[in-house]
Structure 1
Amino acid sequence: MRAAVYHGPRDVRVEDVPEPELEAATDAVVRVTHTAVCGSDLWFYRGDSDRDVPSTVGHEPMGIVEAVGDDVRSVAPGDRVFAPFKISCGACEFCRKGLHTSCVNGEGWGGDNGGAQGEKIRCPHADGTLVRVPDRYADDEDALRSLLPLTDVMGTGHHAAVSAGVGAGDTCVVIGDGAVGLCGVAAARRLGAERIVAVGHHDDRLDLAESFGATDTVAERGDAAGERIRELTHGGTNHVLECVGASSSMELATEVCRPGGTIGYVGVPHGLDGGLDLFDFFPNNLTLRGGMAPVRAYAEELMADILQGTLDPAPVFTKTVDLENVAEGYRAMDEREAVKVLVEV
C-alpha cells in the first residue's frame, strides 16, 4: 500500500509499505479515506523533535472498516469510523475516567499499524479507540469533513475550554490562531462564553476566529498584546485557553489571567528549557489545568453537535491534497500558507 514516510527534516515521501493485517482478536483494519496534517507533525518535519528514520507518519485517520478480530463488538466491516490521535483500550483505570491519553495499553499511530497518512491502518483495541459514524452520514462528504477534526484539533480545543472552566456568560481569552486555537474559540462559544478574545498574528486566521465566534481579536505582539487584552477585558479574565505551547504564550496567559483564574493549556510545550516560572501562579492563586487532550472522551458529545449543525470545525481545513501530494501539505503548513491540510486518500 502507499503511505507517507518520514526520511528526515523536510523530507516526507509517499512510498510502498507493507499492508497492515489483523494481529490480535481486538484489532480492526481500516481503509483510510480522509486524514490530515497536524501542527504537531511540524515538530519532526522541521527536525525539532526526534523520530525514527524512516517511519510512517500521521495520527488523524478516518475510513471504512475492512476487517475485525473475533473479539471486536462495536464496529463491523463496512462501518464508517474515525480514530483519535492516541489508541486506547477503553477499559483500564484511566480510560474509565475519561483520560484515554494515559491508557495503560495505549499506543501511537505508526510502526506496524501503518501510520494514519496512508491507505490502511491496523487499529489495536478497536472497541476502545474507533468511533462509529451513523450510517446516514457515512457518505456525506460535508459531514465527514466536519467530523475529521474530532480526531485531534476540535477535541483538543474543547479540552482547553473545559480545562479553563469556560461556562455560560463567561469572558475568555484564547491564545493561538492555529487550528487548535480556532477550535478553542468554537468550543468556548459552544460552552456559552459571552465574550471571546482571540489572540494571534495572522489577519486571515483571526478572521476565521471571528467566524468561529470570537467577539474580539488581538494581533499585537509582546507587551502590547497583554495591554490590549487587559484593556478589552477590563483588567484580565478568569478563563484563558493556551493553545500554542511556547514560553511566550504561557507568559502572556499568566499575565492576563485574573487572580483566582484558570489557564487551560493544550499547546505541546516547547521553548521551556528553563522550566515554567511559577512566581506569578503563587501570589495570584492561578490554576493550571489541561495537557494532552483525551479527545476520545469527547468524541460522541461533539459528534452529536456537528451532525445536528450547531458546531462546524471544517473551516480549519484551508487546503486539500491527495495522498501522493502530502509533502505539499507539509510544506504549506510549514510556510504558514495553510491553517490545516486535509488529505484525501
Structure 2
Amino acid sequence: MAPLVRALGAAARLIHTGQHYDDSLSGRFLAELGLPEPTLLAGVGGQTRAVQISVALAQLDAEFAARPPHAVVVQGDTNAALSGALAANARDIPLVHIEAGLRSHDRAMPEEHNRVLIDQLSDVLCAATEDNRANLAAESIPAERIAVTGNTVVEAVRDALPGPDERAALLAAHGLTPDAYVLATVHRPENTDDPAALRSCLTELAALAEQVPVLVPLHPRTRARAEAAGLEGLLAPLTLLPPIGYGEFLALARHAALLVSDSGGVQEEATVLGRPLVVVRRSTERPEAMAAGFADLVAPGPEVGRAARHRLAEGDAGLRRLARTPSPFGDARASQRIVALLTDLVADRAAGGAALPAAA
C-alpha cells in the first residue's frame, strides 16, 4: 500500500490495526517506506482470529463515526482487511479492495474466507490480473465494479530495492556471493503450528544447506515453535537472521540463487526481482507466479528439496530466463489507476451517483 499512500499524499489517512504488532515486523517498515504516522489500534495483536476481527472492528467503527472518510481502502486478505471492510460497510462508506479476486479455492485457509467476504462487500474491486477478474466474475460480482489495475507490489519493490552499491555492500557484510545462496522464510501456521510440518520444512532446508548457504530471517513465531518442538538441531546448519527490513530483504532476495517461502507477498516479489521460488504450501492464491515460470508449488516434505535442487541446477540459464520474463502482476502503474478510481468514486458519491468504476 505504500505507493498508493504516497500517491494520495495529504488525502490519505493511515490506520494500523496492530495485527502485526512486533516493531521489528511492523514499526520499522512504516519508517523505512516513508509512510505517515498511523492511527494505531490497541489490543489486536496476539489474539485469536475472532478476537482480532471483533476488537479491530469495534475501534474502526468508532474511528469512522468520529472522522468519516470519503472511502475506505483495504488491501489483501488479513483479519485487519476484513475488519476494515466490515466497518466501512456498517457505516455505509464506499469500500475499495486492493488485490481483489485472489482465490486459492482452499477452504482450510482462513484468508480465503476473508477474501471472499471482502470482495462481496466492496464497491470497487481492484483486481491485479485478468485471472483475478475472472474469479470475481465467477462469483457473480458485477463487471462494472471490477477494474484490472495491476498490483502495487511492483511499484513497492522497485521503490524499496536498494541500489547496486548498497546491495553489494550488504552481501559483502554477510559474506555472500551473488547467485550462490538460498533465502528462505517460513511463518504460516500450516507450516509452524504442526510440529511434523515444521520438522519437514527445516529438515529440507538443513539438507539444502549442505550444498549452498541457506539464509533464514527467522520469524519470532517460527523460532518459538521450533524451540517448543525441540528442533534446534535443524536450525544449526542454517544462517539465521533476525527479522530484517524490507529493503534488506529485497536486496538479499534480488541476488539469491533461489527463494524458498510460504509467504504470499514473496510470490509476487520474486516475479519483480526475476528470481526462482519454491512455495512451501498446499495451495496458493497466486497461481500467476507458477504459470509465468517463476515458482513451484510444493507441500512440506521431500518434494521441497527436490524442487529446490532442480531450480538450483538450472543455474545462470534459469536466472537469465526469468530476468527476461515480465512480472504477471503489472506494469508499476497500479497506484495511478487506483488513485483515479478513488477520485471518480468520491466525486460520484458526492454527486449522488452510483460510484462504480470503469474497467481499467
- TM-score of the aligned structures, taking structure 2 as reference length: 0.31
More helix by share: 2
- TM-score of the aligned structures, taking structure 1 as reference length: 0.33
More strand by share: 1
